[in-house]
Amino acid sequence: MGLVEEIQKRRTFGIISHPDAGKTTLTEKLLLFGGAIQTAGAVKSNKIDRHATSDFMEIEKQRGISVATSVMGFDYRDMKINLLDTPGHQDFAEDTYRTLTAVDSVVMVIDCVKGVEIQTEKLMEVCRMRATPVISFINKLDREGRDPYDLLDEIEEKLDIKVLPLSWPIGMGKTFQGVYNLYSKKLVLFESNKQKLADEHIEITDLSDPELEKWVGESAAEQLREDVELIEGVYPEFDPEEYMAGKLAPVFFGSAVNNFGVQELLDCFVDIAPQPKPRSTEEREVEPEENKFTGFVFKIHANLDPKHRNRIAFVRVCSGKFARGSNYLHVRHDKKFRFSNATAFMAQQKETIDEAWPGDIVGLYDTGNLKIGDTLTEGEKGLFKGIPSFSPEIFREVVNLDAMKTKQMDKGLSQLMDEGLAQLFTFELGSRKVVGVVGMLQFEVMQHRLKNEYNATVRFDPINLFKACWISSKDEKALDAFVKDKYRHIARDKEGKLVFMAESRAWMQMVQDNFPDIEFHFVSEF
């Protein structure tokens, strides 16, 4: 099979949501329908060992939440589906932002009881920045939730995107009987079963058919006819181009925990979702169909297997064919590396692969040469754009509790920063180490992993800091003078870039006003 055919077969997407909307459960059910797993894991139960397939870190199992992006591949209807399950928890938002650079489309999960929540709004902003196509799945229909029309209005209003229902619920909570699939004109009856996959599909292309009453009863049939008539009158017909441009979100209703409505979503997704798209480098646009391999690192995970101190870089293939054992140019180092150990993922299960195509996610074993944002090519020097670090919100000073384990602590901190879990700033004065994060839970995860994976015991002490800003200036003398003047407040990030550590908003503003030649950046990519 040639390059073009391989590209046409691939769909690479991420699943995003607010915590507890059912994202990891939906991920599992998609894997069940794809035949990638045989039984669903119990996401929330700590009493049994079968945790959700995509949650494999110890802390994820204890908390019942996802804190690292998992990559999973499966085949469905002759398509190769690459699915990236992202952390829903806002404390790990940066990992999700980076993951969104590696996908071509997104499935957004919304809880029918809570509606659109704050984290969903933030993630939608990132999708909008890249015009990423979005399909919405309104979950937990087996519970008493909000009116479907209200939910659709809220998605349009809060997420600033047009919606189009492609399935419609018949009842909700105790009265929930199923959905009518507007996309394929089929009635799907609900049966509460967490293990069984097949729901009864009844083909009813004409809703005036008296057969409908036989299945759902007179009043539900009447309500469904009214609803569908209203939907067809209010919402336009499905326009694939609007969806591809990220301006229209098709909406499906279901209950992921009961495997309900998931297959309708997956079938439609395979039909309409984009195949791998072009990617921008600093120099030009790279087309997937180009013969030469290019790819970029969007995630790094240290100690994926705690028994072996391995480090895996997740690479999104952008063009050409990746071949195991080939030499590829590491653009940042301007040096060729040979990758003889390449893997594909099913959460924690990994299998060695010999080749990969645009849209695929490849795991490369790495000894510390690769970092997030790195570009690999067959010789071209351009770097892929758009994987920034954001200025953190919360800061703590790292206190080493065992001086004999300083080396282990330094190594652990370095590797965890490579993963993008947090950002490390080292003060020029006194070499104090400060970690900056988006949310408090990250400190807990770091403490846990430093202890269990690196045998280093640390404490994170509060420190009076408001913001870390990367600084630059067109006038080198002005920059030198600023660094000298503010020496006590100057640190360097992991890459050695200069960072100004501001103690309060007012003081930050005053410093900006007093030093007009200095540029203050809230994103590391400038």
DSSP 314-356: EEEEEES-EETT-EEEETTTTEEEE---EEEEETTEEEE-SEE
Residue that terminates a domain, selected from 377, 406, 438: 377
Local structure of 13: helix, strand or coil: strand
Q: Tell me the three-class secondary structure of 463-480, residue by residue.
A: CCCCEEEEEECCCHHHHH
CA 98 to CA 299: how far, in whole Å? 7
CA 407 to CA 355: how far, in whole Å? 38
Residues 247 and 300 in one domain: no
Residue that terminates a domain, selected from 352, 377, 402: 377
Residues 330 and 448 in one domain: no
Under DSSP, the state recorded for 274 is P
Residues 373 and 302 in one domain: yes
Asked if the structure places residue 250 within a domain, the reply is: yes
Residues 50 and 157 in one domain: yes
Number of structural domains, the chain? 3
Asked if the structure places residue 188 within a domain, the reply is: no
pLDDT of res. 63 = 46
Residues 301 and 373 in one domain: yes
Residues 363 and 407 in one domain: no
Dihedral sign for Cα atoms in the order 435, 413, 337, 277? negative
pLDDT of res. 149 = 94
Residues 261 and 316 in one domain: no
- Token pair listed for 313: 């870089």
Asked if the structure places residue 182 within a domain, the reply is: no
* Spans of the chain below 70 pLDDT: 36-69, 87-94, 191-201, 302-310, 345-350, 386, 388, 525-526
Asked if the structure places residue 157 within a domain, the reply is: yes
pLDDT of res. 497 = 92
Residues 101 and 250 in one domain: yes
pLDDT of res. 43 = 35
Number of neighbouring beta carbons within 10 Å of residue 336: 13
Residues 250 and 355 in one domain: no
Q: How far apart are the first and last CA of the chain?
A: 41
Asked if the structure places residue 500 within a domain, the reply is: yes
Asked if the structure places residue 199 within a domain, the reply is: no
Q: List the CATH number of the domain containing 493.
A: 3.30.70.3280
Residue that terminates a domain, selected from 247, 272, 297: 272
Residues 260 and 120 in one domain: yes
Range of the domain at 462: 394-521
CA 238 to CA 163: how far, in whole Å? 10
Asked if the structure places residue 217 within a domain, the reply is: no
pLDDT of res. 474 = 94
| 3-41 confidence digits (pLDDT tens) | 999 999 999 999 988 878 888 888 888 888 777 665 555
Q: List the CATH number of the domain containing 94.
A: 3.40.50.300
Radius of gyration of the chain (CA): 25
Q: Which of 222, 188, 225 is nearest to 203 (CA)?
A: 188
Residues 142 and 110 in one domain: yes
Asked if the structure places residue 187 within a domain, the reply is: no
Residues 265 and 338 in one domain: no
Alpha-helical segments (H) within 132-287: 148-159, 211-216, 218-234, 240-244, 262-272
